[in-house]
Amino acid sequence: MKKFKWYLSVWFISIWFTLSILIIPFIIGVILLIFRIIEEKKLQRYWEESGFNEIVDVKEEKEKIQKETLKHKESIEKEISKLQEEAKKATKDMEKQVNNFEVTIEELQAEKQQKQEEIIVIDDELLYQSFGFYDPKYELENSEQYKEKLDEIRDKQKEMVKNKTATDHLDEWILEGSKQKGKVMNNNNIKLTLRSFNNECDAAISNVKFNNINAMEKRVKKAFDQLNKTNKNNRIEIKTEYLSLKIDELYLAFEYAQKKEEEKEEQRQIREQMREEKKVQQEIEKQRKKLEKDEEHHKQALEKYQDQLENASDEMKKDLEDKIKEVMERMEELNKEKESVDFREQNARAGYVYIISNIGSFGENIYKIGMTRRLEPNERVKELGDASVPFTYDIHGMIFSNDAPTLENTLHHEFNDKRMNLVNLRKEFFKVSLKEIEETVKAKHNKVVEFTKLAEAEDWRKSEQIRKKSEDKTEEVIA
């Protein structure tokens, strides 16, 4: 590449102009400058002829492009930086929103948990899915003892309220500069608090059942906590001793109601037994009158035939003697029947143990094993098949025993684990096969007993046929 001579260099010429205070150096500087200009023109022509000017243009273009590229890059970097800042800001906003959502979710979950704890389930359909047997807290003998205990608990509550020991409270309130007004205000707040709590407890007690007793206890405790929380600023707090008395009242009231119901059931059973006994006595009296009437007719007939026999011919005597014999045989049968009736009247344990079924009402292999002292036991079975069940009972066995209650209890004990109702043992239904019953009766009873294996169940079978025909017609119409 062609260069300037050293004496035409800018720095050399500058030296001569620096010494311009002297005339000669100035002139030399001017001459050298002229030579440099001439040399530059020559160099310019040389670059043009050699193509160096294009390289310079390209270089300049390249520098220009690089500058523009750098400028564009800076612009892009600024834009990217701006976007990154915005993204960071958006991310922070989103994180903040997510955190807010998480806090909200936690708050909602906490609120949900609180609400679930506060919910008092009343719906029987929900409760029946998870209830168990109730274990009594007070095993008193009768309802009167429960009532006395309940009165005692309630008297303790009244005493606490009267002595102002049902709550912890502050007595030093001043209202409008007056202690008296403050005292009146505080007493009113205490009364309002206890009244609210008592009302909630009364509502729980009135609605308590065997399947919601725990829920009602929870309801009472919830009211206790809420009222204490509400009255925190009033410095009024219901005592746990008062709460305990309310819980005791809840369980006592429930068990009292249960015991009364049990006693009602016992009284109902006693009344049923009394009605049954009355019907037995009526049947015995009716049967005795009938036998006495028949006996009287046969006595009159016997006297008549005996009178006729005294004056009868030989031919008539044979016929009259046969009639007299027949009447006396019948009178002996009547005497035996009278003895049987007297025995049944005197022996309260004589009666019939019956085995009956009701397929239409309860299904197959469900049998009722009961006892009756009726002279006509079938009448008792007819009464059992009244309006309380959709179909009448079928009799599979009717066993007479001089000690019917013992035979009945023996069968009940034998099939105790096959009872349908394991709570109320007065319900005498058992899920057992007739063959098992027959084998047990033969083993426990010393007399021959005949069993009817097939249940007639006439009404049920006819109903099923009618139902099936109706369904078949419906299917034909749809098809």
Of 353, 370, 343, 372, the residue nearest 284 (C-alpha): 343
Q: What is the per-residue pLDDT for 428?
A: 92
Asked whether residue 308 is domain-assigned, the answer is: yes
Q: What is the per-residue pLDDT for 243?
A: 94
Q: What is the per-residue pLDDT for 366?
A: 94
301/304 Cα distance (integer angstroms)? 5
Asked whether residue 467 is domain-assigned, the answer is: yes
Asked whether residue 257 is domain-assigned, the answer is: yes
Do residues 234 and 316 both lie within one domain?
Answer: no
Do residues 359 and 443 both lie within one domain?
Answer: yes
Q: Specify burial of residue 288 (Cβ count, 10 A radius: 0-12, 13-18, 19+).
A: middle
Output the CA–CA distances (angstroms, integers) from residue 343 to 131, 249, 288, 289, in the order listed: 51, 53, 12, 16
Do residues 461 and 384 both lie within one domain?
Answer: yes
Question: With contact defined as beta carbons under 8 Å apart, do 170 and 235 qualify?
Answer: yes
Do residues 440 and 361 both lie within one domain?
Answer: yes
- Domain boundary at 306, 323, 346, which? 346
Do residues 336 and 242 both lie within one domain?
Answer: no
Question: With contact defined as beta carbons under 8 Å apart, do 359 and 455 qualify?
Answer: yes
Do residues 318 and 410 both lie within one domain?
Answer: no
- Domain boundary at 323, 346, 369, which? 346
Number of domains in the chain: 4
Do residues 390 and 461 both lie within one domain?
Answer: yes
Do residues 307 and 369 both lie within one domain?
Answer: no
Q: What is the per-residue pLDDT for 126?
A: 44
Do residues 324 and 431 both lie within one domain?
Answer: no
468/459 Cα distance (integer angstroms)? 14
Question: With contact defined as beta carbons under 8 Å apart, do 441 and 449 qualify?
Answer: yes
93/423 Cα distance (integer angstroms)? 65
- Domain boundary at 330, 346, 362, which? 346
Cα–chain center distance at 105: 28
Do residues 366 and 433 both lie within one domain?
Answer: yes
Q: What is the per-residue pLDDT for 419?
A: 94
Do residues 396 and 441 both lie within one domain?
Answer: yes
Asked whether residue 32 is domain-assigned, the answer is: yes
Report H helices in 311-403: 314-346, 359-362, 377-384
What is the residue range of 26's domain? 6-50
30/384 Cα distance (integer angstroms)? 150
Asked whether residue 179 is domain-assigned, the answer is: yes
Q: Which residue has the tokens 């899915």?
A: 129
91/393 Cα distance (integer angstroms)? 80
Asked whether residue 63 is domain-assigned, the answer is: no
Asked whether residue 434 is domain-assigned, the answer is: yes
- Helices and strands of the chain, counted as H and E runs: 14, 6
10-residue averages of pLDDT along the chain (479 residues): 59 62 65 71 69 58 68 70 74 75 74 60 43 59 82 92 90 85 89 92 86 86 93 91 92 85 80 80 83 85 81 78 85 84 78 93 93 88 86 92 90 93 87 92 82 88 89 76
Asked whether residue 67 is domain-assigned, the answer is: no
Q: What is the per-residue pLDDT for 255?
A: 84
Do residues 359 and 332 both lie within one domain?
Answer: no
